[in-house]
Chain A
Amino acid sequence: KNQVEQSPQSLIILEGKNCTLQCNYTVSPFSNLRWYKQDTGRGPVSLTIMTFSENTKSNGRYTATLDADTKQSSLHITASQLSDSASYICVVKTNTGFQKLVFGTGTRLLVSP
């Protein structure tokens, strides 16, 4: 069964600190992996997208890594800001089945002043 698991479920950090969110997946065949940021009550916004051959991708203070061998990805946030408080969702795309996008349940990040 295609699944995406994220950890931790929730996280509280102080403003200015760094943090790393984890994503493990069992989706096969693998097409690509995206990290989305979702503010409360809003739609997800894409942060990064990585294909099988890409190990790392950055978008400002966000850096995503991908290890296709171990089927793991991480999202590192540097120098956190209050506006980083949101849910971060890992989404893996496959090319088979009715649901091409398999969503994780997200990590809820709260950046505290």
Chain B
Amino acid sequence: DAGVTQSPTHLIKTRGQQVTLRCSPKSGHDTVSWYQQALGQGPQFIFQYYEEEERQRGNFPDRFSGHQFPNYSSELNVNALLLGDSALYLCASSRPAGSGGDTQYFGPGTRLTVL
């Protein structure tokens, strides 16, 4: 079991550009959540996807959007990048509701640097 995987590992973009980050959940997991973690801070919830739909969303602008595919993998898209978007972006997956245990398993993250 490969666990949660994310790509790319690191990414450097310039202000105004767009970026797409990818996540493959742990085998057997159908729910994917995305978090933004600034340096020295705890993760901040961006949104959660289940059954290919955005189920919940945190306090992030519409520049942050996502998608979930039929195989449960997910993408995070950020448009019109700002310097403040520089952070570690974490993807977490969890098991189907009612299956017992709701621990979120985190991927290694994608380090985004906006210049």
Which A residues contact B (CB, under 8 angstroms)? 4, 34, 36, 41-46, 49, 89, 93, 98-101, 103-106
Contacts and interface: CB of A to CB of B under 8 A. Distances in A.
A45 B58 CA distance: 22
Size bin of chain B's contact surface: 20 to 34
Given A98-B45, A99-B45, A42 B58 contact: no
A36 B37 CA distance: 14
Contacts, number: 46
Given A105-B40, A105-B42, A43 B90 contact: yes
B106 A101 contact: no
Interface string B29-52: 000000000001111110000000
Contacts of A46: 103-105
Interface in B72-115: 88, 90-92, 102-109, 111
A44 B106 contact: yes
A1 to B, nearest CB: 13
